[in-house]
Amino acid sequence: MKLTAEQLEHFHKEGYIFIPEAFTAEEIEVLREAAKDVFEPEREEIWREKSGVPRTAFACHTYNKACEILGKHPRLVEPVAQAFEEPVYMHQFKINAKAAFAGDVWQWHQDFVTWHNDDGMPEPRAMNIAVFLDDVLPINGPLMLVPRSHESGAIDAGHDTETTAYPLWTLDNDTVARLVEQGGIVAPTGKAGGLLMFHGNLVHGSAGNITPYPRKIVYLTLSAVSNAITKPTRAEYIAHTDFTPIEALPDDALVQYARSRSQEPAAATA
């Protein structure tokens, strides 16, 4: 999928684009089933909130077929390669659960600062492209973005190892207030299937989810191949070191996979 000139212009100016219903209900169903399977077992790649409920499943594209297909999906891979004007590799793949009643906050931050400080990423030539697996509502902890904040470049941040179970380089309140005064805050919401792409220096965060509505979002962090990380300090399942350019699959890959599964004979019960 290629972005239009208007979408690219919006991305460069505002730092993000949101495309509602970019994935169909059939595609989302197979991804939601995958997320259920992924979050079921205890694995080291599944990080939990301080309360114990799952927060993030890293690298499930390495062991779950539907996630693997999503990791090569043209609607995700091509727009990022288009923005960077070169092929991309997978820096990180994760599903953030933001569980009903228990999903915790993500403090205000810029992703590139963590990728640079913790992984040795040279330039902000990587970004997240995300797919809503649940309906994202104004009330269940939507991702909040500060438009145009990417223009400030990488901003000094503090290493927050306390607030949540996941260490992150976060921004102080004065900095966020100044940037919000200039750009405001947007929180793209919509049905499962929405697609959100945002610049590695765009300031963003999300509040806790105290509603009965889970808010799962799957994020691919795709990096320009020329921007491979040089000093990874985090586990390989968080900051990948396979810099192979991703070859996009056909656009109907998820649908074909869903249909092939529905034709499989039911498992014998006797």
Ligand X SMILES: O=C(O)CCC(=O)C(=O)O
| Smallest distance, ligand X to C-beta of residue 204, A | 5
Q: How far apart are the first and last CA of the chain?
A: 46
Q: Which two tokens stand for residue 93?
A: 């793949």
**DSSP 8-state symbol, 136:** B
Torsion (CA) 80, 127, 182, 98 in degrees, nearest 10: 120
Of 83, 126, 143, 238, the one binding ligand X by CB under 6 A:
143
**Judged by CB under 6 A, does residue 206 bind ligand X?**
yes
Residue 165 CA to residue 263 CA, distance in Å, equals: 41
Q: Which residues of 145-183 are buried (b: 16+ CB within 10 A; e: fewer)?
A: bbbbbbbbebbebeeeeeebebebbbbeeebbeebbeeb
| Smallest distance, ligand X to C-beta of residue 188, A | 12
**Judged by CB under 6 A, does residue 219 bind ligand X?**
yes
Q: Kindly tell me which of 193 and 253 has the beta carbon lying closer to ligand X.
A: 193
Of 204, 214, 249, 254, the one binding ligand X by CB under 6 A:
204
Q: Kindly tell me which of 130 and 246 has the beta carbon lying closer to ligand X.
A: 130
Question: Nearest residue by C-beta to ligand X?
Answer: 206
**Judged by CB under 6 A, does residue 202 bind ligand X?**
no
Please give the size of the binding site for ligand X, defined by CB under 6 A: 9
The angle subtended at Cα 186 by Cα 82 and Cα 167, nearest 5°, is 80
**Judged by CB under 6 A, does residue 39 bind ligand X?**
no
**Judged by CB under 6 A, does residue 239 bind ligand X?**
no
Give contact residues for ligand X (rule: CB under 6 A).
Answer: 96, 98, 106, 111, 143, 204, 206, 217, 219
